[in-house]
């Protein structure tokens, strides 16, 4: 447990107490870990793999709110306010989690200012991200939205911006409220104009001028 950054500041005693109220779990790809609208029992810390946070309407249309990776946690919102799960979290790859029961998490928040602060910092970060997304959806056209998603998912590799993980068009579409066909058209346009260069294994090189679409 101590190797999990969120829990690194806890005392031996606190970790022992937490171990009693937590369990390590593994899930294959495509598994729903928490389901929107359901009552909550646990908080999850992602130890390895990636998972998506999504909401869907009554017709089954989906929007992806975030993609989580190793070290991220989820399921804290309904632990804090006792409301039903605000979204579903679904594995994109085989994932390993630490699941912490509600009572243990509540006790931890009460006993550890460091953990409380870390949870608050994460919630504030998410609000900032949500504000940015509102701006993106309200002010940018589909080219700008696609460009922003590509840049958000890219990383610096020897001075170049590379999207390393596969980013299917359908998933991009669900992040920006556009159809898959529209995203395909925009991606083709970006490739033709040389803003995006496709690389082997679904990776992409992003040219610097792509940023001009996002403001
Ligand atoms: P909870 O509501 O308990 O269950 C669903 C979880 O998804 C929620 O807690 C958060 O941990 C996570 N979640 C909800 N909205 C977002 C978001 N916009 N970005 C990242 N994670 C989110």
Task: Please tell me the distance between residue 31's alpha carbon and the centre of ligand 1 in angstroms.
Answer: 16
**Furthest-apart CA atoms within the chain: distance in Å:** 60
pTM: 0.88
Ligand 1, atom nearest to 85 Cα: 2
Ligand 1, atom 19, lies closest to the CA of 66
Alpha-carbon span 202 to 96, nearest angstrom: 24
Token pair listed for 12: 């031996």
What pLDDT is recorded for position 187?
Answer: 97
For 202-212, what is the mean pLDDT? 95
For residues 10-16, average pLDDT: 88
Q: How far is CA 177 from CA 36, 111, 205, 210, in A?
A: 19, 41, 24, 20
Q: Name the residue among 83, 86, 50, 82 with its Cα closest to residue 69.
A: 50
Phi and psi at 192, nearest 5°, equal -60, -40
At residue 147, the 3 state secondary structure works out as helix
**Looking at the predicted structure, is the pLDDT value of residue 160 above 90?**
yes
Q: How does residue 179 score in pLDDT terms, banded at 50, 70 and 90?
A: very high
The yes-or-no verdict on residue 190 having pLDDT over 90 is yes
Q: What is the mean pLDDT of the chain?
A: 94
- Does 18 have pLDDT greater than 90? no
Contact 161, 203 (CB under 8 A): no
Ligand 1 pocket at CB < 6 A? 34, 40, 53, 65-66, 74-78, 85-87, 89, 126, 130
Give tens-digit pLDDT for 60-75: 889 999 999 999 999 9
Q: How far is the CA of 125 from the centre of ligand 1 (A)?
A: 12
What's the gap in Å between 122 CA and the centre of ligand 1?
11
16 pLDDT higher than 90: no
Residue nearest to atom 22 of ligand 1 (CA): 53
Q: For a pocket test of ligand 1, which of 43, 77, 99 has the largest count of ligand atoms closer than 8 A to its C-beta?
A: 77
């Amino acid at each position: 447990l101590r190797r999990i950054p969120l829990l690194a500041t806890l005392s031996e005693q606190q970790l022992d107490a937490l171990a009693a109220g937590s369990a390590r779990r593994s899930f294959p790809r495509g598994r729903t870990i928490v389901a929107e609208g359901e009552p909550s029992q646990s908080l999850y810390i992602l130890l390895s793999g990636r998972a998506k946070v999504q909401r869907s309407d009554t017709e089954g249309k989906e929007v992806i709110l975030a993609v989580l990776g190793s070290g991220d946690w989820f399921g804290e919102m309904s632990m804090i306010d006792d409301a039903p799960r605000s979204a579903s979290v679904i594995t994109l790859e085989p994932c390993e989690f630490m699941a912490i029961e509600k009572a243990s998490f509540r006790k931890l928040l009460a006993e550890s200012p460091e953990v409380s602060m870390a949870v608050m910092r994460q919630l504030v970060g998410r609000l900032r991200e949500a504000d940015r997304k509102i701006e993106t959806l309200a002010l940018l056209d589909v080219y700008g939205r696609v460009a922003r998603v590509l840049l958000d998912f890219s990383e610096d590799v020897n001075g170049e911006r590379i999207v390393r993980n596969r980013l299917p068009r359908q998933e991009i579409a669900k992040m920006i409220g556009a159809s898959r066909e529209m995203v395909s058209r925009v991606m083709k346009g970006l490739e033709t104009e040389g803003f995006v260069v496709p690389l082997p294994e679904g990776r992409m090189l992003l040219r610097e001028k792509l940023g001009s679409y996002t403001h």
